[in-house]
Structure 1
Amino acid sequence: MKTRSTMIWISLITLALLFSLVYLWYALFPGQIRPEAVRFFGVEQIEQGRDYSRGIRISYILNFIVQTLFLLWILASGRGSRLSRACEQWAQGRKWSGYLAFYLVIWSLLALIRLPFTFFSGFYWQQLWGFSTQSFPSWWGDFLKESLLDLVLGGVGVFLLFLAFRNWPRIWWLICGIFFSLWLVIQSLFWPVFVAPLFNHFQPIANPEITSMVNELANKADLAIDEMLVMDASIRTTKANAYFAGVGETKRIVLYDNLLNQYPKEEIKAVIAHEMAHWQKGHIARGLFLGTLGSFLVWGGAYLVLRQEMSRHHVPPLVWAVFLLFVVLVNFVSAPLQNSISRQMEIEADQTAILLTEDPQAAIQLQMNLALKNRSDLSPPKFIEWFSYTHPSVLTRIEKINEVGVPFPLK
């Protein structure tokens, strides 16, 4: 069992190192511009997208590298073991207090590590490029709210994890998989209702032209749209976007107010049709199913690597740091698979939306305008697109849309 655990760790660390170095290389040196990009965009537009994306990508990969190195260091150096014992001694036999103390220390150190990278990519870089409409106090308030949510929800997760360790020592991984699957459903159900309103204000779309458009598309898609909301995204950013969220009674389509205020009706219709297509194709349900399946695989792997760190009679707080490192590495090295599934859903939604609107030109013009205004990388390195893109690049989306409708005339 120890040999199997060692092989898992070696494989994860090797893949993470390889992916990190290749990602960093292409973030710094994206290579030549694809010829097809110049057919749709100017060279200056492409270079601006690359410059903006470079800062975001470097911040992302350095954040991952520094956090991972910290966890490796604290475990390999023995400091994690000493901290674990210190928390147990401080708790004086109150095991749950020891677990909580260890969790708070590790969480706080990682939060401090993340802070400069989060500030750079989420505030400084957005201000520098003219996207952010947010003041520093407002950004800091959002950061504190997000951190508090992460702290509390993470604490609940740690409690359930150690509860499973102690009460079901042989099948804790199965119990945790069930807990996590339930959490995925609960999160999808309640996030739009209780969490999103902590950061933004949502209200029904009042424009009769838009509501008529929604009804027309919903009838064509044979969907019942309960809520179509506009979000006051402009209080934080000039970027435009839209998303679908929720399950059951909390299902909704949300449009940024920037999208409604800055884009023509044909392109807004293309956005709405795209979000409806996600519903029509059952992408939320499919995502929940795949997330549940993947979680059981991860929990099974965690069982293999954690067995030597714990016994039936003693589960040290250190197990949390080992588990956290395992999850961080697994999430990173499995990103290409997760993102590939997401991109396929987006392509399916794009193509289904064309069948609803029967207007491929509006859909392609929308993708071009969004890419330009949001400073997307118009010619991303293939590795970075494969590894980290949850949505296809604009060139891929145009290609896939053209497979359904009439090709968009080149400039």
Structure 2
Amino acid sequence: MKTRSTTIWISLMSLALLFSLLYLGYVLFPGYIRPEAIQYFGLEQVQQGQDYSKGIRISYILSFMFQALFLIWFLASGRGGRLSQWCEDRYQSNPWRGYLVFYLIIWVMLALILLPFMFFSGFYWQHLWEFSTQTFGSWWVDYLKQSIIDIVLGGVGVVLIFLSFHIWPRIWWIICGVFFSLWLVIQSILWPILIAPMFNQFRTIDDPIITGMVYELVDKADLEIKEILVMDASQRTTKANAYFAGVGGTKRIVLYDNLLNQYSLAEIKAVIAHEMAHWQQGHIARGLTLGILGSFLVWGLAYLVLRPYMSNRHIPPLIWAVLLLFILLANFVSAPLQNSISRQMEIEADQTAVILTGDPEAAIHLQMNLALKNRSDLSPPRFVEWLSFTHPSVLTRIEKIREVTE
């Protein structure tokens, strides 16, 4: 068992180190600009996109590296073991309190590590590039709200995981996989109606022209869309975007108010068609299914990794830190696969949307305008795109949209 655990750790750490260094190298030295980028955009626009993206990407990779290095140091130095033993000794009469205290201490340590990177990329860098419309106080309110949500949900997760360790010592990884699968479904249902309204206000679209577009596309797509909502994104950013969310009765398409205020009707129609296409292609169900299957694989590997830390049903709080490190590395190393699936779904949605609207030029103009106004990287390094892009680059999207008309 220890041999398999060691093999998994060596593999994860080696790949994480390799990916991190390659990612950082390509961010710092992105190389040549693709000739096709200059065909659609000016050289200055390409360089602006690279400069804006560079700050975000450096913050992202350094935040990952700092978290990983901290957890490795915490465990390898023995400090994690000593803190775990202190929690056990201090709360002998109530080990569950010891688990939660250990969890909260680790949460605070990681939050302090992440805070500078979150502030840099989410507030400072956005103001520097004149994207953010959020005040300093408003940013902190959002941060505190999200922190409270994370602490509560994380605490529930800790209780369920350690409960599984104690009650089902041999099959706990299956039980955790079941819990996580249920959480994915519950989150998909409840996030749009419980969590999202804590950060933004939503209203139903009342513009008859927009609603007419919606009904036209709904008929073509043979779908039932519960709601098309507008979000007050302009309270925080000048960027435009849209997304689809929810399952069953909570299904909805959400458009940024910036999108409605800054883009043409043809482009807005292309956005709505794209979001509808995600449902028509079954992307939510497919994503949930793949997420559930992937979670069982991850929990199975976690079983092999954590077994050496469990003996005679003794479950120390330290296991939480080990599990955090494992999940952090596993998510990072598996990001290329996860993101590849996401990019393919976006391409399918783009192409399906063009079929629904019959207007490929509007879809292309939309992609170009979004890329320019959001300062997207118009010529990203291939490795960076492969590792971290959840959506295809704008050049890839234009190419795939053109394929529909050929």
TM bucket, shorter chain: over 0.9
Paired amino acid for 1:286 = R
Q: How far has the Cα of 1:90 moved from its partner? A: 1.4
Paired amino acid for 1:117 = F
Matches within 5 A, 1:222-371: 222-371=222-371
Paired amino acid for 1:149 = I
User: Would you say 1:173 and 2:173 are equivalent positions?
Assistant: yes
User: Would you say 1:74 and 2:101 are equivalent positions?
Assistant: no
CA contact (8 A) 1:166 1:312 kept: no
Q: Deviation per CA, 1:147-169: give whole Å up to 9, x if none.
A: 11111101100100000000000
CA contact (8 A) 1:202 1:229 kept: yes
TM-score of the superposed pair, with normalisation by structure 2:
0.99
Counterpart in the other structure of 2:189: 189
Paired amino acid for 1:211 = T
Q: How far has the Cα of 1:359 moved from its partner? A: 0.3
Counterpart in the other structure of 2:14: 14
Counterpart in the other structure of 1:409: none
Q: Deviation per CA, 1:338-365: give whole Å up to 9, x if none.
A: 0000000000000000000000000000
CA contact (8 A) 1:169 1:312 kept: no
CA contact (8 A) 2:169 2:313 kept: no
Query: 2-side partners of 1:193 and 1:242: how far apart?
Result: 17
Matches within 5 A, 1:34-113: 34-113=34-113
Paired amino acid for 1:392 = P
CA contact (8 A) 1:354 1:363 kept: yes
Q: How far has the Cα of 1:93 moved from its partner? A: 2.7
Q: How far has the Cα of 1:312 moved from its partner? A: 3.8
- Post-superposition, which runs of at least 4 consecutive aligned residues in structure 1 deviate over 4 A? none
Aligned residues: 406
Query: 2-side partners of 1:313 and 1:256: how far apart?
Result: 51
Counterpart in the other structure of 1:382: 382
CA contact (8 A) 1:359 1:405 kept: no
CA contact (8 A) 1:161 1:176 kept: yes
SS in 2 for 1:289: helix
Query: 2-side partners of 1:12 and 1:138: how far apart?
Result: 38
Counterpart in the other structure of 1:204: 204
Q: Deviation per CA, 1:380-403: give whole Å up to 9, x if none.
A: 000000000000000000000000
SS in 2 for 1:254: strand
Paired amino acid for 1:362 = A
Query: 1-side partners of 2:346 and 2:145: how far apart?
Result: 30
Paired amino acid for 2:49 = G
Q: Deviation per CA, 1:169-220: give whole Å up to 9, x if none.
A: 0000000000000000000000000000000000100100000000000001
Counterpart in the other structure of 1:213: 213
Query: 2-side partners of 1:381 and 1:273: how far apart?
Result: 29
Query: 2-side partners of 1:78 and 1:224: how far apart?
Result: 56
Paired amino acid for 2:305 = V
CA contact (8 A) 1:230 1:257 kept: yes
Counterpart in the other structure of 1:154: 154
Query: 1-side partners of 2:267 and 2:312: how far apart?
Result: 60
SS in 1 for 2:237: coil
User: Would you say 1:398 and 2:404 are equivalent positions?
Assistant: no
Shifted more, 320-329 versus 85-94: the winner is 85-94
TM-score of the superposed pair, with normalisation by structure 1:
0.98
Q: How far has the Cα of 1:92 moved from its partner? A: 2.7
SS in 2 for 1:30: coil
SS in 2 for 1:266: helix
SS in 1 for 2:93: coil
Q: How far has the Cα of 1:313 moved from its partner? A: 2.4
Query: 1-side partners of 2:225 and 2:82: how far apart?
Result: 55
Q: How far has the Cα of 1:226 moved from its partner? A: 1.2
Paired-residue identity, %? 74
Query: 1-side partners of 2:308 and 2:143: how far apart?
Result: 37
Paired amino acid for 2:331 = N
Q: How far has the Cα of 1:52 moved from its partner? A: 0.1
Q: How far has the Cα of 1:224 moved from its partner? A: 1.1
CA contact (8 A) 1:233 1:257 kept: yes
Query: 2-side partners of 1:180 and 1:313: how far apart?
Result: 23
Paired amino acid for 2:346 = E
Q: How far has the Cα of 1:405 moved from its partner? A: 2.1
Paired amino acid for 2:142 = D
Q: How far has the Cα of 1:89 moved from its partner? A: 1.3
Query: 1-side partners of 2:208 and 2:193: how far apart?
Result: 25
SS in 1 for 2:126: helix
SS in 1 for 2:376: coil
SS in 2 for 1:404: helix
Paired amino acid for 1:51 = D
CA contact (8 A) 2:27 2:54 kept: yes
For structure 1, the residue ranges without an aligned partner over 5 or more in a row are: 407-411
SS in 2 for 1:311: coil
Paired amino acid for 1:344 = Q
Paired amino acid for 2:223 = L
CA contact (8 A) 2:37 2:395 kept: yes
Q: CA RMSD in A?
A: 0.6
Query: 1-side partners of 2:10 and 2:314: how far apart?
Result: 26
